[in-house]
Amino acid sequence: MLRLEKRPTPSRFWTAATPVLAVLLTMIAGGLLFMILGKDPFAAIRTIFWDPLFNEQFASYSRPQLLVKSGPLILIAIGLSLGFRAGIWNIGAEGQYIIGALCGAGVGLALYPMDAWFIFPLMVIAGALGGLLWAMIPALLKTHFRTNEILVSLLLVYVAEQLLASMALGLMRNPEGGGFPGSRNLQQYPSASNPELIAGTGMHWGIVAAFIAVIASYVLLNRHLLGFQIRLTGQSPRAARFAGVNPNALILFCLGTSGVLAGLAGLFEIAGPAGQVSIDFNQGYGFTAIIVAFLGRLNPIGILLAGLLMGLTYIGGDLAQFMLGLPAAAIQAFQGMLLFFLLGVDVLSNFRIRIGKTEAA
């Protein structure tokens, strides 16, 4: 019989090894799933993980996409991870992402067709403030009225989606667009666009921001008192209070930071790869970032790797749909398995598996 035995100290080896194990298990289970669907499992796995980067035919197109897809995921997940570490659950990054994009794009569209260097920086600030504003709603409701931030932040996503639709169809609609929904394309407005910085890499300012966020969050969590307080609050709230942590200030900080980063991700996306305010410009990055944050074990370096991996499955998934005719739902199930297996094997870092007779009592 198998039996779990609690480790006195969490295993460092397994903390690092479980994500790798989870990816391997996902490949196996996913391969079985694809087989049941009548596809060659090896071809499918190769199409998802290998072809986007190394296939001669597609790689030149799909390789830059890796950074484009991973950047916003990493940026949002870094913000979320701070709160998750402290036990503050911002589930509404998608909403903050949308509002950040709307505020940033709004500034750019309002100043059209002015040509000035400060327009893009102004949009960045507006995007950050938009995300902050949207995150402060659940934060202040929690600190003042003890509402549940999970519900409030989640429900605000749907409010944000309605706002987005209203903007795309109304206020921000392109006056020269012939009545079609969607704003002017910011990519064609140089002062307001977030261009590819190095041709052929997909690198834009949002990716730069993501890398800066990774480094800053690493320093914060490991070297700064605030990061220590975040970790302490997540592990034992009572000890944190004893250590002098102000729980309300921490709620405002964690939700605020994740809102700012999600808002920035939205702005960089709308001024860059997406280009225009359209009804469906948001692609669920805010929700996928939750998976990325956990897949990366709420650790900045882990999130960087997890974001790249998740970006890869997006691109590879698209490719597999296109090349092998795999249904989109199968790709989503495949991504879901990743989180499922990660949480499942997580038990190994705190428990040891013993094989032997069972213990009564």
Partner 1 sequence: MTTLLNIDGLTKAYPGVVANDNVSFSIQPGEVHALLGENGAGKSTLVKMIYGLVKPDKGRMTLHGQPYEPAEPRAARAAGVAMVFQHFSLFDALNVAENIALGMEKPPAMRDLAARIREVSENYGLPLDPSRTVGDLSAGERQRVEIIRCLLQDPKLLIMDEPTSVLTPQEVEILFKTLRKLSAEGTAILYISHKLEEIRTLCDGATILRLGKVVDSCNPREKSASELAEMMVGTKLTPPSRPEAEPGEVVLEVTNLSVKSANPFGTSLKDISFTVREGEVLGIGGVAGNGQDELLSALSGETLAPNDAVRLRGESIGHMGPNPRRHIAVLTAPEERLGHAAAPDMSLIENALLTGAIRQGLVRNGFLNWPATRIFAESIIKQFDVRTPGAGNAARSLSGGNLQKFVIGREVLQKPEVLVVNQPTWGVDASAAAAIRQSILDLAENGTAVIVISQDLDELMEISDRFAALNEGRLSPPRPARGLTMEEIGLMMGGAHDMEVAHAEA
* Whole-angstrom distance, CA of residue 36 vs CA of residue 31: 9
Dig out the tokens for 42 from the structure.
């090896």
Which residue stretch of 147-155, 233-241, 264-272, 278-286 sits at the interface with partner 1 (rule: CB under 8 A)? 233-241
Among 53, 163, 208, 226, which residue interacts with partner 1 (rule: CB under 8 A)?
Answer: 226
Give the x-and-dash track for 308-327 against partner 1 (CB under 8 A). Answer: --------------------
Which residue stretch of 23-31, 102-110, 131-139, 223-231 sits at the interface with partner 1 (rule: CB under 8 A)? 223-231
* Owner of token pair 């860059």: 272
- Rounded to a whole number of angstroms, the minimum distance from the CB of residue 351 to partner 1 is 12
Residues of this chain, 243-302, that bind partner 1 according to CB under 8 A? 243-244, 246
Q: Which of 103-125 are b and which e, b meaning 16 or more Cβ less than 10 Å from the residue's Cβ?
A: bbbbbbbebbeeeeeebbebbbb
Q: Single out the residue of 315, 351, 247, 259 nearest to residue 70, CA to CA.
A: 315
Residues of this chain, 4-23, that bind partner 1 according to CB under 8 A? 5, 8-10
- Rounded to a whole number of angstroms, the minimum distance from the CB of residue 16 to partner 1 is 16
Task: Compare residues 232 and 337 and give the one whose CB is closer to partner 1.
Answer: 232
Size of the site for partner 1 (CB under 8 A): 23
For CA atoms 93, 287, 105, 174, the dihedral sign is: negative
Dig out the tokens for 296 from the structure.
């990366």
Q: Which residues contact 63 (CB under 8 A, 6 or more apart)?
A: 52, 53, 202
Among 25, 140, 231, 346, which residue interacts with partner 1 (rule: CB under 8 A)?
Answer: 231
Among 35, 224, 248, 249, which residue interacts with partner 1 (rule: CB under 8 A)?
Answer: 224
- Rounded to a whole number of angstroms, the minimum distance from the CB of residue 261 to partner 1 is 20
User: Does 241 participate in binding partner 1 (rule CB under 8 A)?
Assistant: yes
User: Does 132 participate in binding partner 1 (rule CB under 8 A)?
Assistant: no
Task: Compare residues 6 and 121 and give the one whose CB is closer to partner 1.
Answer: 6
Neighbours of 11 (CB within 10 A): 15
What's the 3-state SS for 234-275? Answer: HHCHHHHHHCCCCHHHHHHHHHHHHHHHHHHHHHHHHHCCCC
User: Does 225 participate in binding partner 1 (rule CB under 8 A)?
Assistant: yes
* Whole-angstrom distance, CA of residue 22 vs CA of residue 346: 9
Residues engaged in binding partner 1 (CB under 8 A): 5, 8-10, 223-226, 228, 231-232, 235-236, 238-244, 246, 360-361
